Amino acid sequence: MKNEHVRQHNEALPLLIERARKEERRIRYFEAFLGTLTPLSALALAFSVAHRAGVEGAHTLPLALLLVALVIFPSLVLAFRRRPSALALARTLDHHHLLDSVLANGIELKGNDPFSRLERARAEAAALGVDPREAFRLSRPRGLIFAPLFIAVALSITLWPRDGEAPFTSIDEALDESEPLLSSDSAAALKELLEARHAGRNDA
């Protein structure tokens, strides 16, 4: 039992770094995904405008897929290349938990001298009380707020009938068509846009 306790104590730092790596990777890839939402929604808006203007053809879908790939692939590659080292993870944990480089010293000092052994023991002891989830938090990419707006405008352009086409019987019917794709805030924004366009059409 004592040997098992000693083994777990000696493995506390490697286990902590592994947990930190998984948490950091999860946050990193999710942030990369969020970073693609605004350009993808802008692409959707551009294609809805082009479709509204009558720009159609056999190359439209392949072009759309190519542009989507050009947006997503670089983000995933950059996220993959940003993998931090064990030392960088330890420094992040040290900084967040105010450990004064205790964990980083435990990673860096590999010698068998008394000072190195002491620092590694301090790092192992400190690692037992560290939760890596507290050190790695999701940050929202700049410009993400525009993604729902772009989608709402694209849907309003797509759903609004052209001259000579049968319009929706009501704004609520148009919203019913798009509601599964939108959040409540985006649906409200789309309703305002449709009502404004409907009012402008009646005034004309």
pLDDT value of residue 140: 80
pLDDT in tens, the chain (204 residues): 444 444 445 688 999 999 999 999 999 999 888 888 888 888 888 888 877 776 665 456 677 777 888 888 888 888 888 889 999 999 999 999 988 889 999 999 888 888 989 999 999 999 998 998 888 888 887 788 888 888 888 888 777 766 555 444 455 555 555 555 555 666 666 667 667 666 655 555
Q: For 53-170, where are the alpha helices, taking DSSP H only? A: 60-81, 86-97, 102-108, 114-127, 146-159
pLDDT value of residue 189: 66
Q: How does 25-61 read in b/e, with b if 16+ C-beta sit within 10 Å? A: beebeebbebbbbbbbbbbbbebbeeeeeeeeeeeee
- For residue 93, give Cα distances in angstroms to 17, 90, 96, 105, 204: 9, 5, 5, 12, 63
pTM of the model: 0.61
Q: Which two tokens stand for residue 20?
A: 């930190």
- For residue 135, give Cα distances in angstroms to 9, 65, 86, 101: 22, 37, 14, 14
The answer to whether 62 and 30 have CB atoms below 8 angstroms apart is no
Of 180, 190, 199, give the one whose Cα is nearest residue 151: 190
Per DSSP, the three-state class of 109 is coil
pLDDT value of residue 24: 92
**Residue corresponding to tokens 């590999």:** 110
Q: Which long-range contacts (CB under 8 A, 24 or more apart) does 108-115 make?
A: none
Q: Which two tokens stand for residue 23?
A: 């948490």
Per DSSP, the three-state class of 166 is coil
pLDDT value of residue 3: 44
Of 153, 146, 166, give the one whose Cα is nearest residue 196: 153
